[in-house]
Amino acid sequence: TIRIAAILIAAILIATILIATANINVTASTFLVAAITTILVTAIITILAATIATTTATLGSNRVSFAATNAAFASTALACGVAHLHSRPITAVAADRRSLFLGSPPSHQLLV
């Protein structure tokens, strides 16, 4: 349980840093929505992983407990993905604004 709690804290920190660095030109409300969504998604998956780990610890199955730990790590990756999805359209718009001044092609032409 302590390990999963540590993973959850790390996930929240990583996601917050990603959102903060990606959304330099973003309003506070957008940042707040992205942060809350990320934390909620991470928390739900981590709680599910913790429930699986607790159940399997009672049953004595190390293999499934290991899978629950992996699920907690996956939730970290998912949280980062959510942060990226929230920030990408905003940074793309910012890149379009910059391209008007720099003369480079708009960001939607650069994204694959």
Tell me the C-alpha distance between 89 and 111, whole Å. 11
Tell me the C-alpha distance between 23 and 30, whole Å. 9
Q: 37 pLDDT exceeds 50?
A: yes
pLDDT, position 46: 73
- The stretch 7-14 carries a mean pLDDT of 72
Higher-confidence residue: 110 or 52? 52
pLDDT, position 111: 47
Flag whether the pTM goes above 0.75.
no
Q: 89 pLDDT exceeds 60?
A: no
pLDDT, position 83: 57
Query: How many structural domains does the chain have?
Result: 1
Say which residue the tokens 């540590």 belong to.
6
pLDDT, position 80: 62
Q: 31 pLDDT exceeds 60?
A: yes
Look up the domain containing 89 and give its range.
2-110
